[in-house]
Structure 1
């Protein structure tokens, strides 16, 4: 999908409704139609990525729902037992912080659910891109134009904001283990806030998008009703909120986690003292690496995409020397790359939730033994 498909520049995700001219605004006004073989290959690959991604994310959703029901059944089996806790935890213990409950696991599953939903919504736009590449006109009207392109912005921001919250939760679980007990309502609030911010950032695009007739009878284009300078400002803000800002935040969190892991591995055993249960815990390297893998995959797929969209705004002369056919090819490659991100994510999601489930089972094994030995509350 071309983000800068017309003049003036459009939003990152603005789709030219005529596939014969999916080129940035700095390109010549007359652009040759892509070859039939190139178009067929692009549509086939995009359809395959969409099919694989939708299947994988639906599998992730079913797996999360099944594991959620299993956790509720296991939690009910030990809800009326006396389980001793370390003295440093006694002051903060409560029914909601029972060893049978796992706030971090519940939060992680909710965040993965949010990511999978964002991927699904994004993948559902692929058929529109395929249709636009094959057809000679836009058949979904101005409402379809607004919803489709705003949905792209919405899911992109919802994903990165959720990943930032996920990284923050992992940091809190390591650096402040006594403060990680959070209720389901607070977990829902954080995920809802991520989606709320995403809606707020995509709303200007939804309001201003409309259909215009292209130059030289090239069909209709979906463009925002603002000038080039406003588009430049808006795109720059979106780049900061979807790539730069979250990237700096996540980078700082993982740098701190790396330092904590290094300290935990090099600290002598006698230095932990008797209250080691209350001190920062060594990070789980595999869980952290899986989350980092999801973040790195997002950046690898969307950073080149954003660079290509900002290039004609900040360096318009550079693209004037690039042949139109090359620009069309780059647009299609980067479009496939963004859809490929949603296609590979379910692999990370399955490994991540499976690893967290394994860690929780190991942590709860002593508590389950106490459940079998301790008398019920009278």
Structure 2
């Protein structure tokens, strides 16, 4: 339902469009193959995402040794991704049916969750980056962090959930079922007051600033400062480098962040292009729009594999859980 776009047409980067509009563009530009390919791609993302994120949630909740501050943030990130992949089948159904059959209440819920996914991943990664920075600073200064507790991580996570809910409220308010006057086809869309074009541009800027510019700038500043402090620590002091465990966690957070930016940066860059250029809706542009959207969806299923490859404790805990289940 979320479609990235370089061009100024209904396939906007932050507003939702109807399946009727999707099929109009597919038929107009002879991209009917996408009608088959997209549900397959979305189904794979849904299956892999649900399986992987549910496994992450299960391991962190059940394994006592996994209850750390970083894992609390990973848990909430997995819950957010799981919630999104859980409702993805509804988007697949809408795509295949060519109309919205689920009513207005579910329309508001689905659009809210879809937009929630845009903000939640980057905000939890921002919090994880802040946490990594504080850990590095405390290690460089050889100081303890009594306030960095599992309980404090729970409170911070709750605040992130509430903040993102607040950010998504405007999309929830404007979400509604639209009935086409031509064929009475129902669509789940964002319906803005007049002038609609200005409102659509406002939502693009709103999402770009709050969902990308501010959190990514914060993360870049934090990691730049973190690398600077680590460099000075090696050059100017006799202090030991970060211990092996802390370095591994920091590397894992950095790689998860890099993958997130890889998946989401094209989506947000399409907003900049849409706001600053007047590209026409060609088959190539439409195809790229769907590719970018699929890439942003894919981020919801990649993180569990990163944890499995990068975190020994996660692998061991998951293996132990499997052994207990099969015993």
Q: TM-score range by the shorter chain?
A: 0.7 to 0.9
**Which residue matches 2:226?**
257
Q: Which has the larger radius of gyration?
A: 1
Contact 1:153 1:198 (8 Å CA) reproduced: no
Count of aligned pairs: 305
1 CA distance for matches of 2:205 and 2:159?
22
**Which residue matches 1:209?**
175
2 CA distance for matches of 1:48 and 1:257?
37
Q: 1:51 to 1:8 in 2, by over 3 A?
A: closer
1 CA distance for matches of 2:25 and 2:102?
18
Question: Residue 142 of structure 1 is aligned with which of 101, 104, 108?
Answer: 104
1:57 CA drift (Å): 0.8
Q: 1:215 to 1:328 in 2, by over 3 A?
A: farther
1:132 CA drift (Å): 2.0
2 CA distance for matches of 1:163 and 1:326?
32
**Which residue matches 1:223?**
190
1 CA distance for matches of 2:230 and 2:314?
18
1:192 CA drift (Å): 0.7
Q: 1:4 to 1:261 in 2, by over 3 A?
A: closer
1 CA distance for matches of 2:119 and 2:186?
27
Contact 1:261 1:282 (8 Å CA) reproduced: no
2 CA distance for matches of 1:341 and 1:42?
16
CA RMSD of aligned residues (A): 3.0
Q: 1:312 to 1:11 in 2, by over 3 A?
A: closer
**Which residue matches 2:94?**
132
Question: Residue 343 of structure 1 is aligned with which of 288, 301, 306?
Answer: 301
Q: 1:34 to 1:214 in 2, by over 3 A?
A: farther
1:10 CA drift (Å): 6.1
Q: 1:266 to 1:243 in 2, by over 3 A?
A: same
Unaligned stretches of 5+ residues in structure 2: 317-327
Between 1:343-352 and 1:53-62, the stretch displaced more is 343-352
What TM-score do you get using the length of structure 1 for normalisation?
Answer: 0.72
Between 1:130-139 and 1:166-175, the stretch displaced more is 130-139
1:250 CA drift (Å): 0.7
Q: Alpha-carbon deviations, 1:156-195, whole Å to 9, x = none?
A: 2122111111111111112134235434332211101111
**Which residue matches 2:14?**
12
**Which residue matches 2:114?**
152
Contact 1:13 1:153 (8 Å CA) reproduced: no
Which structure shows the bigger proportion of residues in helix conformation? Answer: 2
Q: Alpha-carbon deviations, 1:68-89, whole Å to 9, x = none?
A: 3x57xxxxxxxxxxxxxxxxxx
1:119 CA drift (Å): 0.8
DSSP-derived class of the 1:179 partner = coil
Between 1:176-185 and 1:240-249, the stretch displaced more is 176-185
1:268 CA drift (Å): 5.2
2 CA distance for matches of 1:230 and 1:67?
47
